[in-house]
Each structure stands twice: as structure tokens, then as C-alpha cells.
Amino acid sequence: MATLGIDGTGQRLLRRLNPGPGGWQVGLATVATVGVALGLSALLIAVTGGSPTASTKALYQGSMATPAAWSTSLLYVAPLLLVAVGACVSARSGFFNIGQEGQVLIGALAGAWVGLRLAVPGPLLLVLVLLASVVGAGVWAGLSALMYRFRGVNVVVSTMLMTFLAQQLISFAVNTPWLLQESRLGRGTLSPQSNPVPENARLASLGEYPNLQINGGLVLAVVVAVVLALVMARTRWGFRLKMVGLNPAAARHAGVRVGALGGIALAISGALAGLAGALLLTSPVGTNRLQPGMSLNIGWDGLLVALVARNNPLLAIPVAVLFGVLRAGGSFLAATGVPSFLVDVVKALLVLAFVAPPVVIGMLRRRRLADQPATPTTPTTPTAAVASPEPGDPSVPATPTASVPNPRGTAPEPADPGDAGTAGTKDAMEGRLA
């Protein structure tokens, strides 16, 4: 039976993404690699027959040109940020959770079940939908911790494989009439989706179209990111979480329950991904229906946000805005004749540009230290301390002096005539020792 301790993959990733000393080198290298990534993106667009200038303009118009475009970008930022913050928590503990895509779907499934089955008036229904999504996805992620605890299944493998199981569960739920498939209207054909959640189970927005609209999900996501950042940086629990991620053996020796703490961190990661699924269900970013493809790769992109942010919840906020802008503006690329999937290529290049510098610089630093020759040290010969009594004091015997070899081979210094007064005392002492 395996003991739930630390996931080796997450621990190695945590060490490699830590810039350590020489952070200015990492910063300069990151700026250079981002420039290279943008240049490669422009080259790919030109090779596919598009115009880099027109594509950039289309991205800007679809994501930032108008208040309505900003509203669309911010709608994507909220679920991306929640997934990223959850990934930061699990990675900080040494567990690398890559099953956020499935956990988003499970959260949406649990929220849709509560929203469509419970007849609760007022905003209480929205609260119950959000709580059901958090609990459902948290339990789903906790199953991976249990599999690691009792069967030794690697967390990376189990969370990834459970994503495919979650997709099959969603497909079964929306294709089963007695479960969550939409109600038949007359003789119409049933679609693989659920009924829309009630109005009182949807998040409200501040502002009206075409002005800037800020959905309540964005406010919730930012608050969660700030609170968890403070908890991980300023509390005893956050210190223990970091200790477990960096050195589980030392944490266990210090009295930290490594297994329980790692399992809780993994469950929190899944719960936040489930909350992101609830936002996809209750916010205007989707159709407010449970559908098989409703996750929109939010789980995968949120994981990339965490990687670019280097597991920093506060840094994940601007990175999530960047990814939200790319996602919102990607739909406008079709008007320029550029395939929209090139946005995914651009995101992949940006992820490599942000993640590669600390890893490469760390490898070069370790290689340079390994190539440095060891500095030889010259051993020193210890000498015994000699207590020299005052001449003419017969009550204090002289301490014998240890014989010290002369490494230079020079002649010994002549005896001082003033030492003759202590010769008798020395001879008497040697006689007693003999």
C-alpha cells in the first residue's frame, strides 16, 4: 500500500519553475523568448496566406477595440483564472493536477442537476448551484488522491484519464431523458443537452450592452485569487503547503501530515475547476445549458495560465486576461482568411516562451557549477599550546612542548640563554612522567 506523500512530477516541475538566484537573467531571457514567439507567430500567419498586420488588427477588434469586445474577453477571464488558481494550489503542494478539463465538466454537471431539480426561489438557488459544483468537482479530484493513497496510482495519470471518464458521463447525462436531457416540446427532436437553468440560478452582470459589462463571475474569481494568494503567503497552512512541495521528508519530520495536506490541496484544485464549470453554466459566456463540449478547453487553457504565471495566483490575473483576449479575438481571424486554430499555436508558443527560460537557465547554471574544478585545500598541522611559566618560579612546572616537524628543512633556531633557568624544572617533570 502506497503512502500518500508527494508527487514526484509536481515536485520536479515546482523546482524547475523557481527562478532562484539570477532572476534578472530569467527576466531578460523571457523578454527575448516572447519576442521570438511573436515573430514565429507572424511568420506562421504569413506562410498560411494571411497578413500578420490584418490578423493582429482582427484580434484587437474582437477583444479590446470596444467595450462590448472587452466584455467578451472578461467573460473568458473568470473561468480561466479559477482553474489557474486551483492549479497553483495543487502544484504548490507538489501534486501536478492536469485533469481540470474533466473537473470543469463535473462541476457543470453537479450544478445543472441542482439547478434543474430543486425548486428554490430567489438567489438561494444560485448559491446552491455554485456549492454543488464546488463539492462535486472537489470530490471528483479527491478520488485521484485516494487512488494514489491506496493503490499508488500516479496523480498525473489518474487526473488525466478521469477527464475522459467525465466526458462520457456528461454525454450519458444529456442523452438520457430521465437524467438531464432537455424536455420534448411537441414532436420536436431532442438534442444532447439539458434544459437552460432558471433565471434565478444565473449570475448577474454590471452594465448593459453595448457598454462595458462585468459579470459577477469575474468579481468572484478575482476575490478567490487574492484570498488564496494571501492564505498561501501569510498563513501557517500556506507555509506547510510550500514545505510539503519543496521537501516532503522535512515536512513530515516537522510534524506536517503530508498525505492529508496533499489530498486537500488536490481537492481544492478540483473544486475551483468545478466552480469554473459553474460559471460556464450560469454566466453569459455559454448557453446556460449542460452540453458535452461546453468546457471549451477552459481546463487546458487554465492550466497553461498557471504554468505561465509560475504558480503565482496574483500573477495569474494578468496572464488570464491575456489568454482571455486571445480567446475572444480568435473568432475574428476567420474574416482575414486565417484559420482560428492558429490562436492555439500562438498560445502554445507564448507558454513555451514564458516557461522555458527558468528551466534552461537552471540547467546551464547547474552544468556550469558541475564543470568548475574543485579548489584544493592545504591541510594544516596542529600545534599544542605551550604554557610558559615565568623564569625563577619553581612552583609552576613547565608544560612539555609537542614536537613539531619542520616542513621546510631549515636548521632549528639556537636556544635562548635565558631559558637555562627552566631546564632543571623541565628535567624533573620528565623524570616524574617516566
Q: pLDDT digit string (tens) for 120-162?
A: 888 999 999 999 999 999 999 999 999 998 888 999 999 999 9
pLDDT at 408: 47
Q: What is the pLDDT averaged over residues 269-291?
A: 94
Alpha helix stretches (DSSP H) within 254-341: 258-282, 298-308, 313-330
Q: Which of 293, 271, 290 is nearest to 108 (CA)?
A: 290
Q: pLDDT digit string (tens) for 62-96?
A: 888 889 899 999 999 999 999 999 999 999 988 88
Is residue 376 pLDDT above 80, yes or no?
Answer: no
Residue 316 CA to residue 21 CA, distance in Å, equals 22
Return the higher-pLDDT residue of 29 and 389.
Answer: 29
Joined together, the cell numbers standing for residue 201 give: 440560478
pLDDT at 239: 92
Q: What is the pLDDT averaged over residues 394-416?
A: 50
Q: What is the pLDDT averaged over residues 345-359?
A: 81
DSSP per-residue codes, 8-65: HHHHHHHHHT---S-HHHHHHHHHHHHHHHHHHHHHHHHHTT--HHHHHHHHHHHHTS
Phi and psi at residue 135, to the nearest 5°: -70, -45
- Residues 138, 214: contact at Cβ < 8 Å? no
Instruction: Report the chain's mean pLDDT, rounded to a whole number.
Output: 81
Joined together, the cell numbers standing for residue 333 give: 481571424
Percentage of the chain modeled with pLDDT above 90? 41
* Beta-bridge partners for 206: 214
> Which has the minimum average pLDDT: 15-19, 101-105, 170-174, 319-323?
15-19
Distances in Å between the Cα of 307 and the Cα atoms of 43, 210, 218, 235 are 25, 34, 21, 23
Q: Which position has the grid cell 521570438?
A: 36
Q: What is the pLDDT averaged over residues 5-14?
A: 54
Q: pLDDT digit string (tens) for 329-338?
A: 877 777 777 7
